[in-house]
Structure 1
Amino acid sequence: MADDDFVDLDLPDPPAMDIPEDSTFDQASIDALFGDANADIQQKSGLRAVIESRVVSHGRLPMLEVVCERMVRSFATSMRNLTSDAIEVSLEDIASVRFGDFMNRVPLPSMLAVFRVPAWQDYGLVAVEANLIYAVVDALLGGRKGAAPRKIEGRGFTTIETTLVSKMIELVLREFSTAFEPIAPITMEMERIETSPRFAAIAGPTNVASAATFAVDMDGRGGNFTILLPFATLEPVRGKLSQRFMGEKLGGDTTWRDHMRTEILRTEVELCAVLGERDMRLADVHSLKVGQTIAFDVTPDDPFEVSCGGVPLARAQIGRQRNHVAIGIVETFAKGSPK
């Protein structure tokens, strides 16, 4: 068949669409024809919007940044002693995240070390990425400097790799504890190492945590690790971490406070020494006369109560010093109340 030859096929005409001449398409008709991309997205409101919101509102913790900066310098020195390589450690970022979002973004495979802070009775997490894991193993086993370690995909970490990386994690916890000493003397104890985020859950998915990410470079090889501390763990030292600088005293100028303290200490108060008490009828009290003696069931050696403004302060014994009646304190009451 030549190129100029055509075959005339007798095909039926396509059916005509019955569209009214005055018909118009509005947005509802277009959405019904092509589908509304936003139809399945429901606007969340109320308590559900607050709970499922990805925006984390929190107060800044300036002193936590200072702790991390102190940890950078000390951890770099410890890693040089461990690997005998030139180690560069830097603080990449400190952010507040929800625990569930952080665990979902952890690149796998990774090592997740769960540690405990006995002083705070709570837990924290150290997440070590695969690049840093292979770099540490390569450095500790005498790998060639400057060469990137080979990654073996599709398998879990061996016992040897876990043991070697655990040495680095113990250094992280030790140096991080040391960096916290100016704020609170604590110790961080590693409990276990997990490779699945499901087995390393130390908080609820919506709980807010502070994540400090550090970068480690060892002659061109290395990676990142992150220390995750839930806000519930930091609650015992939350006030100190909120300070802007070390040793900050809340309340501003202390001049008025010192002046008030001085004046209070100079204030004269009246002490009342109750030598004895006895219950009497109102008729007997009414019939009291001058010179009448009232007997008490106490002896001079029995201790009596000393109070101020009706508040018991101490127990004392009566005596004499330089022709003056005196009392000697025998026992004091804690917080102004008798034991």
Structure 2
Amino acid sequence: MDVPIGNATDIRARLIDAGGLSLDRMPMLNVVFDRLTSGCSDNLKPLVASPVYFGFNGFSSGRFGEMLDAYENNAVAGIFHAPEWDSHILVGLNRDFLFTLVEALFGADGGEPPVEDERPFSAIELRLAHTILEQVGKALESSFALVSMTAFRLERTETRMEFAVIGGRNNKAVEAKFSVQALNRGGEMFLILPQSVINPMRPALSKVLTGDSAARDPTWTQQITAEVRKAEVTLRAVLEERTLTLGEIAGLKVGQVIGLDATPATRVKLEGNDRPLFWCHMGQAQGSYVLRVDEAIAQDKEGAHDDAVG
């Protein structure tokens, strides 16, 4: 039976599309791109006096050429080489993004109206775009390290999208979009990865990691740890605890002696902020009382004991 040409074309298109990526089956992509937003914000802080906020707006799959056509004459594209992947990726900054960051880099306060000129980008704007893209490359390196280690080397920038070639126009790719806000205005950054780059990372990108260990930033973790260790904790050594009735307490007089059952061999309970921590032995050194830590107090056992007593 003969198949009409039109139907054959549709079938071929469906077969090609069927080879696309199931992005919902790769949850780690969200983690990587969320981390990229934090990395871009942190890397631009030394360059820009005003706060710059990045946000991840989602990703989609499609054809490389169609993705680039949407930014023709409206963006600067950076071509990065990822040597460990033996491939290239593309990062683009649209016109609003670049004009906003240029004003922020030169110390503007946002009082002037945003630039709405369709003119070609100036040499200074292109040089600053190159600097911004270098910082984005560093953030890419850190964020993708969660699933695959590689460097990202900025090879060149392009303003003509037909020259921003990292693959065939009909090749499948993944596009992630990011918003940027500064000086009460904003713009868009986009990232395009060929499907051939994503395919080898599918097992790592498909994992669902428990907790937030995957997205943990070592520098931030060290800073938090250092600040926590500075917190002051009051320690109290308890030699013995006695239970008295309210009447006995009311009858206490100055000079009255309260007998204790404790001896020099009795262990002392060391508490921190009313929580039992260690059993200790008391002694003397250089005319002062000292404590020697013997063992830690199991919190669950101590808590169960306290509940039973209460």
TM-score range, shorter chain: 0.5 to 0.7
**Aligned twin of 1:161:** 125
Q: Could you tell me which runs of 5 or more consecutive residues in structure 2 were left unpaired when the two chains were aligned.
A: 212-310
Shift of 1:240: 1.0
Distance 1:52 1:197 in 2: 27
User: CA-atom RMSD, angstroms?
Assistant: 2.4
Distance 1:178 1:90 in 2: 17
Normalising by the residue count of structure 1, what TM-score does the alignment of the two structures yield?
A: 0.56
Structure 1 counterpart of 2:174, from 210, 226, 234: 210
Whether the 8 Å contact between 2:104 and 2:183 is mirrored in structure 1 is no
Read off the aligned partner of 2:42 and give its amino acid letter. T
**Aligned twin of 1:21:** none
How high is the sequence identity, in percent, across the aligned residues? Answer: 26
**Matched ranges for 1:179-190 at <5 A:** 179-190=143-154
Q: How many pairs were matched up?
A: 205
Distance 1:152 1:191, change over 3 A: same
**Aligned twin of 2:54:** 89
**Aligned twin of 2:81:** 116
Distance 1:101 1:184 in 2: 27
**Aligned twin of 1:44:** 6
Structure 2 counterpart of 1:229, from 193, 202, 207: 193
**Aligned twin of 2:289:** none
Whether the 8 Å contact between 2:50 and 2:107 is mirrored in structure 1 is no
Distance 1:176 1:185 in 2: 10
Q: Could you tell me which runs of 5 or more consecutive residues in structure 1 were left unpaired when the two chains were aligned.
A: 1-41, 248-339
Whether the 8 Å contact between 1:94 and 1:213 is mirrored in structure 2 is yes
Distance 1:54 1:236 in 2: 19
Structure 1 counterpart of 2:110, from 145, 154, 174: 145
Structure with greater Cα Rg: 1
**Aligned twin of 2:277:** none
Q: Indicate yes or no: 2:163 matched with 1:199.
A: yes
Distance 2:27 2:113 in 1: 36
Whether the 8 Å contact between 1:132 and 1:222 is mirrored in structure 2 is yes
Q: Indicate yes or no: 2:50 matched with 1:78.
A: no
Distance 1:199 1:78 in 2: 28
Give the 3-state SS of the residue equivalent to 1:119 in structure 2.
helix
**Matched ranges for 1:1-339 at <5 A:** 44-47=6-9, 49-51=11-13, 57-60=20-23, 61-153=26-118, 155-245=119-209
Give the 3-state SS of the residue equivalent to 1:236 in structure 2.
helix
Distance 2:209 2:6 in 1: 40
Read off the aligned partner of 2:143 and give its amino acid letter. A
Normalising by the residue count of structure 2, what TM-score does the alignment of the two structures yield?
A: 0.61
Shift of 1:246: 6.8
